[in-house]
Amino acid sequence: MKNAFRDQVAIVTGAASGIGRALSQELARRGAKVWMTDIDAAAVERSAQQVPRAVSRALDVTNLEAFRALAEEVKRDEGRIDYLFNNAGIAVIGHYHEMKPGDFDRLIDVNFRGVVHGVEAVYSIMRAQGSGHIVNTSSVSGLIPAPGFTAYSATKHAVVGLSRGLRLEAQRFGVKVSAICPGFTDTELVSNADYRGIDGGRAKKSMPFAFDTPEQCAVQALDGVANNVGEIVTARHAKGMVAAHRISPRLLGFVAGLGVKRQSR
Catalytic residue set? 152
Residue 134 identity (one-letter amino acid): I
Q: Say if CB 224 and CB 178 are below 8 A apart.
A: yes
- Rounded distance between C-alpha atoms, residue 8 and residue 198, angstroms: 42
How many angstroms separate the Cα of 69 from the Cα of each of 45, 110, 178? 19, 18, 23
Cα angle: 115, vertex 119, 125; to 5 degrees: 155
Q: List, in order, residues 6 or more apart from 27 with CB less than 8 Å away.
A: 5, 10, 12, 34, 83, 222
> Which residues are CB-neighbours of 154 under 8 A, at least 6 positions away?
104, 107
Give the Cα separation of 213 and 172 in Å (integer): 36
Backbone angles phi, psi at 6, to 5 degrees: -65, 125
